[in-house]
Amino acid sequence: MKRRQIGLAVLSAATAMALGACSAGSLGSSDDSSSGGGGKVTLSFLTDNQPETVKIAEGLAKDFNAKNPDITITVETRPQGTEGDNVVKTRLSTGDMTDVFMYNSGSLMQALAPQKNLTPVDEFAGQLDDNFKKSVGSDGKIYGVPFGNYMAGAILYNKDVYDKNGLKVPTSWAEFEANNAKLKAAGVDPVIQTYGETWTSQLFILGDYFNVEATTPGWADQYTKNQAKYATTPAARAGFDHLQEVHDKGYVNKDFASAKLTDGLNKLAKGEGAQYPILSAMLSQLIADNPGTENKIGLFAIPGADAAKNGLTVWAPNGLYIPTSTTGAKLDAAKKFLGFVASPEGCESLGKASQPTGPYAVTGCKLPDSVPQAVKDMQTYIDKPGASGLALEFLSPVKGPALEQICVEVGSGIRKADAAAKLYDEDVKKQAQQLGLEGW
Amino acid sequence: MSATGPAPAGRKRSPYPIWFYLPAAIVYAVLFLVPTVTSFYFSLTRWSIFDSQFIGFDNYVTFFQEPALVSGLWHTVVYAVVTSGLKVVLGLGLAVLLTSQIIGRGYLRSVVFFPVLVSTIGVGLTFTILMDPEDGLINESLALLGIQGPGWLTDPSYALLSVALVDVWKGVGLATLIYIAGIVSIPQEYFEAARVDGASAWQNFRSIVLPLARPATFTVILLSLIGGLRSFDLIWAMTRGGPGFTSDVIASVIYKQYQAGFYGLSTAGNVVLFLLVTAIIFPLSRFLNSREVDL
């Protein structure tokens, strides 16, 4: 009896000591960063792990630190694609986000519930381009500054291969198909597809949006209100049809199912494939991996039914955001950093870290004269009135999460285009309901 | 301090005060009971990052209308049955081999068990590289023999089965271990009696090993079926449910809803998965256990 009591006393004393030690320890280790003397601040900065993005992020961090020696920025990385979305959402919802983070603008940014989770940065509105403000705005406030350049969802093509086969840049789908037939006969893979990275499968649909808007103006609004559907609008469904067509006619590379983005870019640079529907921002990686290809790769808009109405679908740059969990001295420092990024100095730092692949969204920033050919091609569309427009994800918050998988199915011949369009209409319903949109 | 006033009722029955249960009870309640109950509630809501809105059974309706779900259910069953069946057959075969008098028995036993210890994600990534259709080791070896290997993970008709085979490779060691234990525990008298009667090796296996290792068989079936029904990590590491949706199982469908930010929907999916696993395993376990008593 007595022995048990002694044992228990010892046990409870030990527990109390252990608990005490634990709390003292954790208190001791958490008060160094913000309250340290001298006003030195360290900001953490989350970005995706694409090599060029990391280079830009680290370049910005270094150049900003050179100007503001008291503020150090450490870059962290996360995966790309849906896995990365998950990381960002989870960290935001648990209040565990880095002090500054990079994320998509447009519909994906709207899904972060910016009013609740992000700090508005209206003070930089004067420095930003209107299209970009639209894509990081919510309820009349803006929440981010651009990280990177405008990009296009378009077809990159190998100019040498085009010249060798005597081809002209197509402006309608029929011309594109005629080119493909000639390329196939010449033994070159006409269209490169890389489903090893599923997001690359969506370009024929997402990059076709200018053509949809050109034939049915105001489609995005009707789509948001649940009045227009992919399956029932022929112009919108065309993207799925095109994807099926290039597969059915055997125009894609043999290893399309397992090839990755890098493989696709290298194939295009080496001329093993002639055309690659992809985001123009991938150009910087292509050039970095294949030096000397700056002027060998051109760009054209994804062709639609009508050559007269063909134009370029443009993506706003990703944004840099400050989560509401950043406060005090860190918030001031974070705003200073965003101000730097949204200034001509920021653009300069960006251009130094990575070849600019599209126009800047910051006022007063100019592209250097020595940009690659594809960027010049892109600029031609943008300078011509009415030849470029924003992608659907910047005009409507409705974007289904399964589009990548559905596109892979269509592009691999598993599902037909009409069934895929219907399936995607079902998929976006969930997103619309989650966002609480009216009419769904 | 807690020793001074134990409840009188508890003292009569057990020499320890009932409060000894408290730490375990708190851990169990906080980590298991509370999340389970709240997940039932949240499956009835549409919640975004911070707020939730009660919507009744809408999530369940949406979830059952999810086109990927029907194929996902079927894939789950196929996956569970294939992996479970192969683990029983191969596990028993290997166990018989490894309990016989062969050279290097201890070494071979550890070789068979080794894959169980390796991280699932590591195994998945390794096999993804080995199974690459163009320059993976498997297809390059087949090419030397003049065989054009299929796209193991990229061909819609093979993807799920390829992952199932890797699962079997990784999990058969555990099945073998259970079988070895089951076979070793069979009393030697039976084998001696059989030898006196002049029984062949096949008769030994058919009439002694197979029936008397039945408890081991039930354990293997139950464990591998549960494992197969809720399998996720290997499939996600190897195909992410692709190409398209052709290797999606329930768990990966749920995970994708979660990734897309449909937290309420994915919670509803988890409740469905919980009920499904219970509905299959509970009666199966009762059935198998009752057979065990009859033995």
Question: What is the average per-residue pLDDT within B267-287?
Answer: 85
Question: What is the average per-residue pLDDT within B78-87?
Answer: 93
Residue pair A373/A355 in contact by the 8 Å Cβ criterion: no
Tokens standing for A315?
Answer: 């993506």
Q: Hey, what amino acid is at B114?
A: F
Q: Please give the residue that has the higher pLDDT: either A433 or B27.
A: B27
Residue pair A357/A149 in contact by the 8 Å Cβ criterion: yes
Tokens standing for A167?
Answer: 């081809």
- ipTM for the assembly: 0.76
β-strand partners of A78: A48
Cβ contacts of A401 on chain B, cutoff 8 Å: 256, 259-262
Q: Could A83 and B259 be called an inter-chain contact, meaning their C-beta atoms sit closer than 8 Å?
A: yes
Q: Could B133 and A257 be called an inter-chain contact, meaning their C-beta atoms sit closer than 8 Å?
A: yes
Task: Give the model confidence (pLDDT) of A12-65 as tens digits.
Answer: 444 444 443 443 333 333 334 444 445 789 999 999 998 889 999 999 999 999
Per residue, the 3-state secondary structure of A326-356, as one string, reads CCHHHHHHHHHHHHHHCCHHHHHHHHHHCCC
Q: Could B46 and A195 be called an inter-chain contact, meaning their C-beta atoms sit closer than 8 Å?
A: no
Cα separation, B181 vs B201, whole angstroms: 20
Question: What is the average per-residue pLDDT within B121-130?
Answer: 92
Q: Could A8 and B256 be called an inter-chain contact, meaning their C-beta atoms sit closer than 8 Å?
A: no
Cα separation, A81 vs A87, whole angstroms: 10
- Which of A4, A414, A436 minimises the CB distance to B243? A414
Distance (Å) from the alpha carbon of B262 to chain A's nearest alpha carbon:
7
Cβ contacts of B148 on chain A, cutoff 8 Å: none
Distance (Å) from the alpha carbon of A1 to chain B's nearest alpha carbon:
10
pLDDT at B149: 82
Confidence of residue B3 (pLDDT cuts 50, 70, 90): very low
- Which of B2, B243, B260 minimises the CB distance to A8? B2
Question: What is the average per-residue pLDDT within B108-125?
Answer: 91
- Which of A5, A85, A423 minimises the CB distance to B67? A423
pLDDT at B256 exceeding the cut of 90? no
Mean model confidence pLDDT for chain A:
86
Mean model confidence pLDDT for chain B:
86
> What is the set of domains in chain B, with CATH numbers?
1-26 (no CATH), 66-294 (1.10.3720.10)
Q: Which of A4-13, A196-205, A338-347, A376-385 has the lowest mean pLDDT?
A: A4-13
Query: For an interface test with A, which of B4, B132, B134, B155 has the most A Cβ atoms less than 10 Å from its Cβ?
Result: B134
**DSSP secondary structure letter of residue B31:** I
pTM of the model: 0.78
Q: Could B265 and A409 be called an inter-chain contact, meaning their C-beta atoms sit closer than 8 Å?
A: no
Residue A111: closest C-alpha in chain B: B261
> What is the set of domains in chain A, with CATH numbers?
37-148+317-353 (3.40.190.10), 151-315+372-435 (3.40.190.10)
Residue B159: closest C-alpha in chain A: A257
Please report the DSSP string for B148-195 in residue order.
Answer: ----TTTSTTTHHHHHHHHHHHHHHHHHHHHHHHHHHTS-HHHHHHHH
Q: Which of A199-208, A221-230, A377-386, B92-101 has the lowest mean pLDDT?
A: A377-386
Residue A254: closest C-alpha in chain B: B134
**In chain B, which residues touch A (CB < 8 A)?**
1-4, 46, 48-50, 53, 62, 65, 67-68, 132-134, 151, 153-156, 240-246, 256-262, 265
pLDDT at B50: 62
Task: Give the model confidence (pLDDT) of A140-155 as tens digits.
Answer: 899 999 998 899 999 9
Give the Cβ contact number of residue A94 at 10 Å. Answer: 10
Residue A424: closest C-alpha in chain B: B67
Q: Could A402 and B243 be called an inter-chain contact, meaning their C-beta atoms sit closer than 8 Å?
A: no
- Which of B53, B133, B256 minimises the CB distance to A255? B133
Task: Give the model confidence (pLDDT) of B142-159 as tens digits.
Answer: 888 888 888 888 888 889
pLDDT at A352 exceeding the cut of 90? no
Q: Could A408 and B243 be called an inter-chain contact, meaning their C-beta atoms sit closer than 8 Å?
A: yes
